[in-house]
């Protein structure tokens, strides 16, 4: 029992904020510290943007019947999506005998139809590691965005002490920005509060469904990707991505991140997980919490 507790603490202490504060000067390397000249870019930000845009558009079209209030306020955007929906329906009719209405896929099916793979949470292959993330269908090439790290985004000096207590899901970005990916307790309440605070009429600025067992955005499971071990090498790496201001407003409902401070004028920080090699169906994803590309 004691050995297992030590092992779990050894895996999580580097993401535990009070521990980070106490060890900031003594253990710089364990804090994902990198020189200012370093970056974490495995692929270009443009590629991350295009992948998210492609996936979110597919999710939007699949859920088209629920988007009436949004499209009523965006007539030009509605025309664009109607054209895309027509193309999608023609494609579906080729592969299906059911011509009655729009066929609605699950988010995992949409992900597979769009990017050629699907991912989901399941019991980890590592002993006592709890939940992990697996490629459940398809094939993921090297250099692909395979998941996202959801949660509330805290800027430097914003209050996160109580949320961090006993919380193994605090992710520290290179510049000190923190993302709380815990879907339970106080963290869950904070995310929901901030998400509903920022909603503008029918326009949701973030996705709350990652807090449930059935996320609307099937990529939003990155907080459950386990750290690598001697037996299981890392096959994905974290990459920070700032959502550009021109990101389509109708697609923000699929972003699994929200800023804690409403009055902060800055880009929304997201973290995606990018594959370091080809990953086949059935493989579990493993990251390295401290890997940064220089």
| Sequential pLDDT tens for the chain (294 residues) | 777 666 655 555 444 555 545 544 444 434 444 455 567 789 999 999 999 999 999 999 999 989 999 999 999 999 989 988 887 776 665 554 444 456 789 999 999 999 999 999 999 999 888 999 999 999 999 999 999 999 999 998 898 988 888 898 999 898 889 999 999 999 999 999 999 999 999 999 999 999 999 999 999 999 999 999 888 999 999 999 999 999 999 999 999 999 998 776 778 999 999 999 999 999 999 998 765 544
Check the CA dihedral 141-143-144-148 and report its sign: positive
* Backbone φ, ψ for residue 285 (5° rounding): -85, 135
Tokens describing residue 199: 């909603």
Question: How far is residue 178's CA from residue 260's CA, in Å, rounded to a whole number?
Answer: 10
CB atoms within 10 A of CB 101: 8
* DSSP strand pairing (145-149 vs 268-275): antiparallel
Check the CA dihedral 2-171-111-114 and report its sign: negative
Model confidence over 188-233: pLDDT tens digits? 999 999 999 999 999 999 999 999 999 999 999 999 999 998 889 9
H-helix segments, 116-267? 161-164, 185-198
DSSP-derived secondary structure for 93-155: HHH-S--SSPPPPPHHHHHHHHHSEEEEEEE-SSTT--EEEEEEEE-B-TT-EEEEE-EEEE-
Give domain 1-293's CATH architecture: Beta Complex (2.170)
């Amino acid at each position: 029992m004691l050995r297992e507790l030590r092992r779990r603490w050894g895996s999580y202490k580097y993401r535990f904020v009070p521990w980070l504060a106490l060890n900031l000067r003594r253990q710089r390397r364990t804090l994902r510290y990198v020189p200012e000249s370093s970056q974490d870019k495995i692929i270009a930000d443009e590629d991350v943007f295009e992948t998210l845009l492609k996936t979110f558009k597919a999710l939007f079209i699949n859920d088209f019947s629920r988007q009436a209030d949004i499209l009523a306020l965006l007539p030009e955007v509605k025309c664009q999506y109607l054209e895309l929906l027509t193309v999608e329906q023609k494609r579906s009719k080729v592969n299906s005998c059911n011509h009655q209405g729009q066929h609605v896929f699950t988010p995992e099916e949409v992900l597979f139809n769009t990017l050629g793979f699907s991912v989901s949470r399941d019991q980890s292959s590592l002993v006592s590691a709890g939940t992990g993330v697996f490629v459940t269908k398809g094939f993921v090439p090297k250099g692909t965005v395979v998941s996202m790290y959801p949660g509330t985004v805290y800027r430097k000096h914003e209050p996160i002490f109580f949320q961090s207590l006993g919380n193994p899901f605090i992710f520290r970005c290179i510049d000190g920005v923190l993302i709380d990916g815990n879907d339970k307790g106080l963290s869950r309440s904070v995310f929901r509060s901030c998400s509903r605070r920022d909603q503008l009429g029918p326009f949701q600025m973030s996705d709350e469904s990652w807090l449930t067992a059935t996320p609307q955005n099937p990529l939003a499971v990155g907080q459950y990707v386990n750290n690598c071990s001697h037996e299981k090498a890392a096959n994905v790496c974290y990459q920070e991505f700032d959502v550009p201001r021109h990101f389509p407003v109708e697609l923000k409902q699929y972003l699994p991140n929200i800023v804690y401070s409403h009055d902060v004028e800055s880009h929304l920080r997201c973290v995606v997980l990018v594959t370091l090699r080809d990953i086949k169906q059935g493989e579990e994803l493993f990251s390295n919490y401290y890997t940064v590309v220089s």
